[in-house]
């Protein structure tokens, strides 16, 4: 198949324009190009090599021939041609053939520009990376590397490990896909609910890690948040089922507040202190529409209930006007769908906002013996906040100190230290 010749930019395009176009194509089409190439090579490493070559060729060719009207089709064609050239070499063919198994019932379209084929290839890639046979860490690493197109170094930074360690982890995951004969296909209807849950779990975890980075200098990891939202949009577009719809609604409703969650210096801003006029109202409206769609599509999923909680916050005109009774009731529903100590903690905080800090503190204290929360920094931080509101300065100081010991994120540490200093001043004023 020849390289498409149609271009929009003529010849001798500015290098900056070409670089921007290639970068945009990488963000928008990496997964689709890789997915279609894997279908040819049956080998993830070979496909990655071909796709990287295609993007490198785009930098050279588009500068003289112009930027194509459809960069994705151009890249799929070039990567596919490169893959076929490699597969003509017997050594590569012998190495690639045993690796990825494709469901014989899935059609293999010849036209790389056909939209259903592109969608199917992307879904296959996502479901392969998130296969239950892989560990949770491996699923996340492969998804970030192969579907989101992050470099191995970027994935390593997300996991806070050395690049060599992450490279080895990704290599082992790819080998497991090969040796376990994990099929490169969209699951059957019978397997789809479980597999969609696994994919959504990975996307949600990537978003949660980016929204509240457990370690590092900043509160928010913009790259991880963007990758997660992009993945959720892709999943919704290709497979609009209740779980994927609810997930995208949740991510948008939370991400709409991103610009107000930290100061220019990077210090966290509590929800009650955020400037709601700066929240992204278009994103909130989109999230609310998706939430309605999710609830109409079937029984509520945990993501839809979480999205409803986020919507209650996003749509309240002020912190004081927040419907805490509704939020507590939604947490009760969420606990039935997804029993979790962290959900219980969040419900306790909402209870404290509804019934007063003493009620919230009592609910939190009942969770103190929960093993999974023993080193969870937000339990100590929530206790500290309620104790501060109750003006129980010595106990509040102790709780803030505990939270500081459990927190590795520098932005959060700075905020907690500021709160602790304020408590110390209050104690001095009170003569304690």
pLDDT digits (tens, 9 = 90+) for 91-123: 655 555 555 545 433 333 333 333 455 567 888
Give tens-digit pLDDT for 216-270: 788 888 878 988 898 899 889 888 999 999 999 999 999 999 999 999 888 899 9
Q: Are 318 and 346 part of one and the same domain?
A: no
Measure the CA–CA gap between 315 and 307, rounded to whole angstroms. 12
Q: How many domains does the chain have?
A: 3
The reply to whether 171 falls in a domain is: no
**Among residues 193, 376, 197, which one has the least CA distance to residue 303?**
197
Across residues 191-219, what is the average pLDDT? 84
Side-chain-side CA neighbours of 15 within 13 Å: the count stands at: 1
Tell me, yes or no, whether 318 and 374 share the same domain.
Answer: no
Of 57, 86, 115, the domain-final residue: 86
For residue 306, pLDDT beyond 70 = yes
Give the DSSP H/E element, type plus range, for residue 215.
strand 215-216
In this prediction the pTM is: 0.77
Q: Are residues 227 and 315 in the same domain?
A: yes
H or E segment and range at residue 408: strand 408-409
Residue 136 lies in a domain: no
257 touches 315 (CB < 8 A): no
In a domain, 100, yes or no: no
Mark whether 253 and 295 lie in a shared domain: yes
44-65 vs 163-179: helix crossing angle, rounded to 10: 120
The pair of structure tokens assigned to 158 is 């997300």
Token pair 């909680």: residue: 309
What tens digit of pLDDT does each residue of 2-12 get?
444 444 444 45
Q: Which residues touch 271 (CB under 8 Å, ≥6 apart)?
A: 257, 313, 319
Residues 286 and 346 in one domain: no
On whether residue 145 sits in a domain, the answer given is no
**CB-based contact 305:332 (threshold 8 Å):** no
266 within some domain: no
- Look up the domain containing 421 and give its range: 339-431
Q: Is residue 211 domain-shared with residue 286, that is, in the same domain?
A: yes
Residue 155 lies in a domain: no
Is there a single domain that holds both residue 298 and residue 395? no
Whether residue 364 contacts residue 350, with contact meaning beta carbons closer than 8 Å, is answered with no
CATH number of residue 403's parent domain? 1.25.40.10
What's the CA gap between 84 and 1, in Å, rounded? Answer: 10
pLDDT of residue 321 exceeding 80: yes
Q: Does residue 182 carry a pLDDT above 70?
A: yes
């Amino acid at each position: 198949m020849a390289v498409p010749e149609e271009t929009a930019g003529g010849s001798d395009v500015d290098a900056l324009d070409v670089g921007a176009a290639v970068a945009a194509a990488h963000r928008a089409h990496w997964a689709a190009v890789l997915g279609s190439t894997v279908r040819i090579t049956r080998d993830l490493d070979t496909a990655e090599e071909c796709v990287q070559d295609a993007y490198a060729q785009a930098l050279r060719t588009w500068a003289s021939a112009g930027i194509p009207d459809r960069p994705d089709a151009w890249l799929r064609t070039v990567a596919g041609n490169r893959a076929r050239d490699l597969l003509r070499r017997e050594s590569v063919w012998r190495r690639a053939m045993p690796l990825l198994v494709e469901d014989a019932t899935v059609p293999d379209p010849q036209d790389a520009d056909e939209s259903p084929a592109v969608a199917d290839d992307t879904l296959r890639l996502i479901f392969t990376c998130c296969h239950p046979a892989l560990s949770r860490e491996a699923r996340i690493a492969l998804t970030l590397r192969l579907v989101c197109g992050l470099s191995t170094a970027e994935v390593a930074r997300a996991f806070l490990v050395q690049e060599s360690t992450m490279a080895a982890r990704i290599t082992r995951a790819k080998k497991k896909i090969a040796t376990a004969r994990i099929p490169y296909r969209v699951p059957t209807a019978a397997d789809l609910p479980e597999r969609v849950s696994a994919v959504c779990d990975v996307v949600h975890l990537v978003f949660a890690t980016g929204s509240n980075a457990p370690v590092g200098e900043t509160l928010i990891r913009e790259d991880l948040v963007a990758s997660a939202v992009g993945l959720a949009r892709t999943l919704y577009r290709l497979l609009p089922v209740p779980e994927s719809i609810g997930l995208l609604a949740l991510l948008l409703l939370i991400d709409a507040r991103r610009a107000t969650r930290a100061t220019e210096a990077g210090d966290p801003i509590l929800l009650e202190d955020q400037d709601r006029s700066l929240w992204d109202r278009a994103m909130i409206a989109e999230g609310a529409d998706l939430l309605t769609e999710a609830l109409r599509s079937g029984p509520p999923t945990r993501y839809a209930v979480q999205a409803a909680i986020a919507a209650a916050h996003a749509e309240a005109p002020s912190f004081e006007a927040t419907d805490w009774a509704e939020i507590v009731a939604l947490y009760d529903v969420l606990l039935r769908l997804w029993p979790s100590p962290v959900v219980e903690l969040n419900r306790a905080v909402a209870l404290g906002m509804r019934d007063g800090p003493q009620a919230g503190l009592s609910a939190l204290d009942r969770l103190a013996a929960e093993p999974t929360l023993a080193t969870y920094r937000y339990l100590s931080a929530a206790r500290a906040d309620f104790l501060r509101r109750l003006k129980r300065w010595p106990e509040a100081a102790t709780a803030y100190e505990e939270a500081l010991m459990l927190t590795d994120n520098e932005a959060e540490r700075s905020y907690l230290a500021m709160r602790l200093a304020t408590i110390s001043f209050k104690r001095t004023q009170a003569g304690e």
